[in-house]
Structure 1
Amino acid sequence: MSRPHILAVPYPAQGHVIPLLGLSRHLVKHGCRVTFINTEHTHSRVINGLQEKSCIGDENEIRFLSIPDGLEPREDRNDLSKVYDKIIQVMSEKLQELVEKINREEDEKIFCLILDGCAGFTIPVAEKMKIKKVAFWPPAVASLALFNNIPKLIDDGIIRTDGKGTPIKKQIIQLAQNMPGIDCTKLIWTSVGGEDLASQKRMFEVINNCVQAGQAADYLICNSAYDLEPGAFALVPNILPIGPLLASNGQGNSAGSFWPEDSACLEWLDQQQPKSVIYVAFGSFTILDKTQFQELALGLELTDRPFLWVVRPDITDEPNEAYPGGFQDRVARRSRLVGWAPQQKVLSHPSIACFFSHCGWNSTLEGVSNGVPFLCWPYFADQFIDESYICDVWKVGLKLNKNENGIITREEIKSKVDQVLGDESFKARVVELQESALKSVKEGGQSHRNFKNFIEWIKA
Structure 2
Amino acid sequence: MAATEEEPRAPPLHVVVFPWLAFGHLIPFLELSEQLAKRGHLVTFVSAPRNIARLRPIPPALSPRIRLVSLPLPRVDGLPDGAESTTDVQPEKVETLKLAFDGLAAPFAAFLAEADEHGKKPDWIIMDFAHHWLPAIGEEHKVACAVFNIVPAAFVAFLGPKELNDEHPRSAPEDFMVPPPWIPSSSPLAFRAHEAEWLASQAWRPNTSGVSDLDRFWATAQLCPFNICRSSHEVDGPLCAFLGDLFRKPVVPSGLLAPYDAARDAGGGGSDEEGARLVRWLDAQPERSVLYVAFGTEAPLTAEHVREVALGLELAGVRFLWALRTPIGEERPPLPEGFEERVAGRGVVRVGWVPQVRVLTHAAVGGFLTHAGWGSLVESFMAGQPLVMLPLFVDQGLNARLMTVRQVGLEVPRGEHDGSVGREEVAATVRRVMAEEEGKVFARNARKLQEVLRDRARQERYIDELVEHLLHRRNPQ
1:295-319 residue CA offsets vs partner (Å, 9 max, x unmatched): 2112212222221111112278443
Aligned equivalents of 1:129, 1:400: Cα separation in 2: 49
Q: CA separation of 1:70/1:153 partners in 2, compared to 1, >3 Å: closer, same or farther?
A: same
The equivalent of 2:95 in structure 1 is 81
Kindly indicate whether residue 127 of structure 2 is the aligned counterpart of residue 115 of structure 1: yes
Q: Which residue does 2:341 correspond to in 1? A: 329
2:230 to 197, 200, 223: 223
Match of 2:247 in 1: none
**Deviation at 1:443?**
4.5
Q: Give me the whole-angstrom Cα distance separating, in 2, the residues matched to 1:241 and 1:69.
A: 31
Q: 2:190 aligns with which of 176, 182, 204?
A: 182
Q: 1:15 to 1:148 in 2, by over 3 A?
A: same
180 and 129 in structure 1: CA distance in 2 versus 1, 3 angstrom threshold: farther
> Residue 436 and residue 224 in structure 1: after superposition, are their counterparts in 2 closer, same or farther (change >3 A)?
same
Q: Structure 1 CA distance, aligned partners of 2:283 and 2:198?
A: 42
Shift of 1:65: 1.5
Task: Please say if residues 193 and 200 of structure 1, whose CA atoms lie closer than 8 Å, have aligned partners that are also in contact.
Answer: no
| Cα separation, 2, equivalents of 1:189 and 1:66 | 36
Deviations 1:231-281 (A, max 9, x none): 432431221112111155574579xxxxx9963333432332211111111
The alignment partner of 2:104 has SS state of helix
1:70 equivalenced with 2:74 (yes/no):
yes
> C-alpha separation between the residues in 1 aligned to 2:196 and 2:265?
30
Does the CA contact (< 8 Å) of 1:262 and 1:340 recur in 2?
no
Mapped partners of 2:307, 2:110: distance in 1: 49
| Residue-by-residue CA offset, 1:13-63 (whole Å, 9 max, x unaligned) | 11110101000011111101111101234334x24xx3x589599414x22
- The answer to whether structure 1 residue 166 and structure 2 residue 166 are counterparts is no
CA–CA distance in structure 2, aligned partners of residues 433 and 119 of structure 1: 33
User: Which amino acid is the alignment partner of residue 199 of structure 1?
Assistant: N
Question: How far apart are the structure 1 equivalents of 2:96 and 2:447?
Answer: 42
Structure 2, gaps ≥5 residues long: 1-9, 84-88, 245-249, 267-271
| Structure 1 match to 2:64 | 59
The counterpart of 2:465, out of the listed 444, 450, 455, is 450
Aligned length, in residue pairs = 439
Counterpart position of 1:162: none
Tell me the distance in 2 between the aligned counterparts of 1:360 and 1:454.
28
Aligned-pair distance for 1:100? 2.0
The 2-side partners of 1:456 and 1:271 are apart by 51
Quote the residue 1:410 is aligned against: 423
**C-alpha contact 2:16 2:124 (8 A) present in aligned 1:** yes
The runs of 5 or more residues in structure 1 that have no matched partner are 160-164, 255-259
Q: 1:37 aligns with which of 46, 58, 66?
A: 46
- Describe the shift of the 1:456–1:197 C-alpha distance in structure 2 as closer, same or farther (beyond 3 A): closer
* Cα distance change, pair 291–188 in 1 and its aligned pair in 2 (3 A): closer
Distance 1:406 1:236, change over 3 A: closer
CA distance in 2 between counterparts of 1:377 and 1:311 reads 14
**CA apart distance, 1:144:** 1.7
Task: Confirm or deny that 1:15 pairs with 2:24.
Answer: yes
**Residues 361 and 170 (structure 1), Cα distance of their counterparts in 2 relative to 1, 3 Å cut:** closer
Q: TM-score w.r.t. structure 2 length? A: 0.81
Q: Which residue of 2 aligns with 1:213?
A: 220
Kindly provide the amino acid, as one letter, of the partner of residue 35 in structure 1.
T
Tell me the percent identity.
Answer: 24
**Alignment map for 1:360-379 (pairs within 5 Å):** 360-379=373-392
Letter of the aligned partner of 1:64 in structure 2? L
Distance 2:175 2:185 in 1: 22
- Aligned counterparts of 2:443 and 2:184: Cα–Cα separation in 1: 26
- The CA distance in 1 between the partners of 2:397 and 2:15, in whole Å, is 33
1:89-129 C-alpha deviation (Å, 9 max, x unpaired): x2111111112223334x54322211123334322221111
**Which structure's relative contact order is higher, taking Cα pairs within 8 Å and 6+ residues apart?**
1
Q: CA deviation at 1:343?
A: 1.6
Give the whole-Å Cα distance in 1 for the aligned partners of 2:241 and 2:63.
Answer: 41
Which letter maps to 2:373?
Answer: G
- How many Å separate the matches in 2 of 1:57 and 1:192? 43
1:375-414 map, 5 Å: 375-392=388-405, 394-403=406-415, 406-414=419-427
**Matches of 2:305 and 2:336, distance apart in 1:** 11
Structure 1 range deviating more: 15-24 or 93-102: 93-102
Task: Give the aligned CA root-mean-square deviation in angstroms.
Answer: 3.5
Specify the code of the residue in structure 2 equivalent to 1:314: P
